[in-house]
C-alpha cells in the first residue's frame, strides 16, 4: 500500500489547506492557524520521507502541545509509523524503552530529547519547540542496525499496558484510524466544504488512543479545538465558558472532578452531552452529574487494540432506556460485533456472564473475534455491561496500572524484602494502587524514602496512594502474597493518601 495516498493522509492534507489563515488550535490562550500547523507538519514530513521506504518508524516523545500535533500529522502525511513514546513514564524506564526501540528518528521537545535520548550511531533527533520555530536536526554519524520490521499500513504504534507483564505497543493501521475518524467508507467520504463552526475542547493525552482519536477527528472534520496540556478543572472550565462546546469528552476521574466542584449549570450551559470512556463510571455518578448540571453522560467501551470504541450510548438510547439499563456501557457501535463466551469459547445466551469477545468495526466487515480480559453480560436488547476484569489490572482515572510493575519497582529498593500491590476503590479516580511493604531485617525504611525511589521508576499515576510498611506481608501456603488479606488490611486501616505528586 502506498501510505501517502491513503484516505487518512489525503484528508489531513485537504483540511490543513481548507482555510489556511483560520484558527486551528488554541493553546495557552493563543491561537495557531491551520497554515502554521500545516507548514510545520510539511517540514516534518520531509524528514519522514528522507528515510528509506520500510524504515519510516518515527518515535515521538508526545506531549499535549501544538508542535507535537504537527509532528503527528507530519508523520502521517509522509506515510510513516508514529511510535508513541511517553516522556512521563519515568526517566529510567523511558531511556530503556528508547534504547530498545532503536529508531532512525526521534522527535520531541529539546529538554526531553536531551534528558532521555543517548546519542547512538545512525540515529537522528529532531527538536521541536514551537510551531513557528524551525525543527533542529541532530544526526549521529555512522550506521546502525535498526531492530524490528515496519509493518505495512501501520499508522500508530500506541503504547499500552498488556493484561500481564510490561507495557506493549499495539499497531493501529491507517485503515483503522480512517474508519474511526472519517467513517466506515473513508475512501468515498467527501472532505468538508468549509471548517466546522463549533470549537472542541481536547484534554485527553496524546500518548493515549483517546487523545490521538480526538485530535485526528477534529482535523478530519476541519474543526478548531482548544488543546489543554492535561485536564485541570480551572483551565477546562474557562475553555468551556469561552468557547461553549455542545459536547465534551471526560474520563470518569474528570467527571467526578467536575461533579464535586463549585461549577454551576450556568458554567456548563452550552454542553448538551458528555461522553465518557477509558474506565468504568458508576451509574450513581452519571445520575448525580445529570441531576446537578442537567447534562446526560453517554458512557462507552473502547480499547487501544480495537482502534477506538466498540460500544456506547446514543442520546436517543439514553432517553429511552437509561432508567432500565443504567450501568450499561451501551450497545455495539461503528459496525462492531459483541459476544460473551464461556471458558471453552462457546457463545452464551443473553444475560449470562462470561468473557467478552469483540469484532471491531474499525477492522472492517471481515473482522475476526478478539478476546478481551473483561467479564461481561449482554442483554436481549444488545446492551453491554462490564462486570470486572479477568486480570488484576488497576484502572486509575483511565490509566491502566499493572500491580507487578509497581511491586517490582518497590522491591528494587535494597531495604525492601517484599511488596504486595492491590487496588482500593477511590471516589474520584475509580481505583488507586496501594501497597504493603515488608522491610528487610534491621532496615530503616519509611514511605517518604520509597516515594522518592519510585518517582524515577514509575509514571506519577502508578505511584501508590498508600504505602504501608509492615513486619510481615500475609502470604498463602504457596508463599505468594495473600491479596485478599492485603485488601482487608487497607479496608480495616482506612489509611489516608500519601502525596504522590
Find out whether 57 and 83 touch, Cβ atoms under 8 Å.
Answer: yes
Rounded CA-CA distance 373/431 in Å is: 18
Q: Considering the entire predicted model, what is its pTM? A: 0.80
Q: Which residues contact 156 (CB under 8 A, 6 or more apart)?
A: 81, 82, 84, 171, 172, 177, 212
Confidence of residue 246 (pLDDT cuts 50, 70, 90): very high
Give the CA dihedral 327, 333, 337, 341, nearest 10 degrees: -10
Spans of all domains in the chain: 3-188, 394-493
C-alpha span between 455 and 103 (Å, rounded): 26
Query: CB-based contacts of 478: which residues, under 8 Å, 6+ apart?
Result: none
Burial class (CB in 10 A: 0-12, 13-18, 19+), 79: buried
- Give the span between the Cα atoms of 344 and 371, in whole angstroms: 12
44 and 107 in contact (C-beta within 8 Å)?
A: yes
CA distance 279 to 299: 9
Percent of the chain with pLDDT over 70: 92
pLDDT digits (tens, 9 = 90+) for 381-422: 999 999 877 777 898 998 888 888 898 899 888 888 788 999
CA dist 87 and 114 (Å) reads: 12
Do residues 283 and 327 lie in contact, with contact meaning Cβ atoms separated by under 8 Å? yes
What cell was used for 477?
A: 501456603
CA-CA-CA-CA torsion sign (451, 456, 457, 458):
positive
The residue with cell 491551520 is 34
CATH of 3-188, one of 3.30.450.40, 3.40.50.300, 3.30.360.10, 3.40.50.12780: 3.40.50.12780
pLDDT band at 144 (very low <50, low <70, confident <90, very high): low
Q: What is the mean pLDDT of the chain?
A: 89
> 431 has which bridge partners?
425
Asked if residue 165 has pLDDT above 80, the reply is no
Span 277-308, pLDDT tens digits: 877 788 888 999 999 999 999 999 998 888 88
In DSSP terms, which residues pair with 354 in a beta bridge? 376
Q: How many CB atoms lie within 10 A of CB 365?
A: 9
**Which residues make beta-bridge pairs with 268?**
none
**Which of 113-122, 323-332, 348-357 is predicted with the least confidence, judged by mean pLDDT?**
113-122
State residue 164's pLDDT score.
32
Q: Compute the residue count for the chain.
A: 501
User: Predicted confidence band at 479 (pLDDT cuts at 50, 70, 90)?
Assistant: low
pLDDT tens string 27-80: 999 999 999 999 999 999 998 887 654 468 999 999 999 999 999 999 999 999
The number of beta carbons lying within 10 Å of the beta carbon of residue 71 is 29
DSSP summary character for residue 84? E
Query: What is the DSSP secondary-structure string of 283-336?
Result: HHHHHHHHHHHS--EEEEEEEGGGTEEEEE--HHHHHHHHHHHTT---EE-TT-
C-alpha cell read off for 479: 508463599
Q: What's the CATH architecture for 394-493?
A: 2-Layer Sandwich (3.30)
Under DSSP, the state recorded for 484 is H
Amino acid at each position: 500500500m502506498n501510505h501517502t495516498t491513503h484516505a487518512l493522509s489525503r484528508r489531513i492534507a485537504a483540511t490543513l489547506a481548507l482555510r489556511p489563515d483560520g484558527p486551528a488550535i488554541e493553546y495557552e490562550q493563543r491561537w495557531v492557524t491551520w497554515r502554521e500547523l500545516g507548514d510545520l507538519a510539511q517540514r516534518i514530513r520531509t524528514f519522514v520521507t528522507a528515510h528509506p521506504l520500510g524504515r519510516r518508524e518515527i518515535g515521538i516523545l508526545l506531549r499535549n502541545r501544538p508542535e507535537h500535533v504537527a509532528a503527528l500529522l507530519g508523520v502521517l502525511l509522509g506515510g510513516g509509523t508514529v511510535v508513541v513514546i511517553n516522556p512521563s513514564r519515568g526517566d529510567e524506564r523511558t531511556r530503556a524503552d528508547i534504547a530498545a526501540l532503536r529508531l532512525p528518528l526521534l522527535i520531541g521537545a529539546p529538554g526531553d530529547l536531551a534528558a532521555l535520548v543517548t546519542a547512538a550511531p545512525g540515529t537522528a533527533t529532531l527538536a521541536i519547540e514551537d510551531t513557528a520555530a524551525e525543527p533542529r536536526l541532530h544526526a549521529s554519524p555512522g550506521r546502525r542496525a535498526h531492530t524490528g520490521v515496519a509493518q505495512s499500513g501501520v499508522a500508530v504504534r500506541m503504547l499500552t499496558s498488556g493484561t500481564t507483564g510490561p507495557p506493549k505497543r499495539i499497531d493501529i493501521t491507517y485503515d483503522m484510524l480512517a474508519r474511526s475518524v472519517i467513517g466506515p467508507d473513508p475512501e468515498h467520504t467527501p472532505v468538508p466544504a468549509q471548517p466546522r463552526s463549533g470549537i472542541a475542547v481536547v484534554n485527553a493525552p496524546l500518548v493515549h488512543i483517546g487523545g490521538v482519536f480526538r485530535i485526528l477527528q477534529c482535523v478530519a472534520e476541519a474543526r478548531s479545538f482548544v488543546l489543554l496540556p492535561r485536564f485541570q478543572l480551572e483551565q477546562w472550565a474557562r475553555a468551556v465558558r469561552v468557547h461553549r462546546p455542545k459536547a465534551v469528552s471526560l474520563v470518569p476521574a474528570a467527571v467526578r472532578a467536575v461533579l464535586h466542584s463549585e461549577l454551576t449549570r450556568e458554567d456548563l450551559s452550552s454542553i448538551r452531552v458528555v461522553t465518557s470512556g477509558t474506565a468504568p463510571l458508576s451509574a450513581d455518578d452519571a445520575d448525580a452529574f445529570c441531576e446537578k448540571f442537567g447534562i446526560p453522560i453517554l458512557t462507552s467501551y473502547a480499547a487501544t487494540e480495537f482502534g477506538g470504541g466498540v460500544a456506547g450510548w446514543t442520546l436517543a438510547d439514553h432517553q429511552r432506556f437509561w432508567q432500565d439499563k443504567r450501568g450499561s456501557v451501551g450497545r455495539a457501535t461503528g459496525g462492531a460485533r459483541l459476544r460473551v463466551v464461556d471458558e471453552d469459547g462457546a457463545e452464551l445466551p443473553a444475560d449470562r456472564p462470561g468473557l467478552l469477545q469483540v469484532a471491531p468495526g474499525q477492522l472492517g466487515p471481515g473482522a475476526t473475534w478478539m478476546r478481551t480480559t473483561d467479564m461481561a453480560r449482554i442483554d436481549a436488547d444488545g446492551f453491554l455491561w462490564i462486570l470486572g476484569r479477568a486480570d488484576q489490572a488497576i484502572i486509575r482515572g483511565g490509566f491502566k496500572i499493572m500491580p507487578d510493575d509497581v511491586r517490582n519497582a518497590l522491591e528494587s529498593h535494597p531495604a525492601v524484602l517484599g511488596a504486595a500491590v492491590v487496588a482500593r476503590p477511590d471516589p474520584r479516580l475509580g481505583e488507586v494502587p496501594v501497597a504493603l511493604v515488608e522491610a528487610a531485617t534491621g532496615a530503616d525504611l519509611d514511605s517518604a524514602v520509597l516515594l522518592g525511589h519510585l518517582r524515577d521508576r514509575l509514571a506519577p499515576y502508578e505511584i501508590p496512594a498508600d504505602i504501608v510498611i509492615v513486619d510481615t506481608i500475609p502470604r498463602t501456603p504457596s508463599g505468594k502474597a495473600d491479596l485478599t488479606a492485603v485488601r482487608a488490611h487497607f479496608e480495616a486501616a482506612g489509611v489516608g493518601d500519601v502525596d504522590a505528586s
